[in-house]
Amino acid sequence: MDQDSLLRKILAGELHYAKLWVVCLALRGVAWDKMPFEQRELAFQAKDAASNCLSIFLTSPEYRAALRYAVHDSLVTAAFSGLFLLKMASLFPAELDLGAIIGQVEQLAQLLSEVAAERYAPSSPPWILSRQ
């Protein structure tokens, strides 16, 4: 299978999203301000998975084009990944590159609005959408 094939990109995105989802379930109900080191490491692994998931959405022209015909789950995957990144940025502002995260989420909001998925884009904070 070609490295840049659409199917491969979709599967890679789903893998990163699965990692994100599993960690989110494992951290459910945790006190974010009193996290032990192991849980903190899991949270940062989930942040990496969310960022990788969004990178696939944003950098693949084939994937971007296919999003016009994507099912609900694919669009929610992207939106949830972006919202998780924003949550991590608000919890750990000193430890993360806020500019990179905000830029990535802004690109996602723009992409979702381009592919006629405006109903997903407003789940991002209004200040992101107003900066266009």
Average pLDDT over residues 50-64: 90
Residue 128 clears pLDDT 80, i.e. is over it: no
- The identity of residue 25, as a single letter, is L
Structural contact between residues 70 and 61, judged by C-beta atoms closer than 8 angstroms:
no
Q: Output the six-digit token pair for 107.
A: 């690109």
Q: Convert the pLDDT of each residue in 83-123 to its tens digit.
A: 999 999 999 999 999 999 999 999 998 888 877 655 555 45
Identify the CA nearest to 116 among candidates 65, 54, 82.
65
pLDDT of residue 69: 79
For residue 23, how far is the Cα from the chain centroid? Answer: 14
Altogether, the residues listed in the chain come to a count of: 132
DSSP H or E stretch at residue 68 = none
DSSP H or E stretch at residue 48 = helix 37-59
Q: Convert the pLDDT of each residue in 1-56 to its tens digit.
A: 566 788 899 899 999 999 999 999 999 988 888 888 999 999 999 999 999 999 99
Contacts of 131 (CB under 8 A, 6+ apart): 106
Identify the CA nearest to 9 among candidates 68, 45, 48, 61.
61
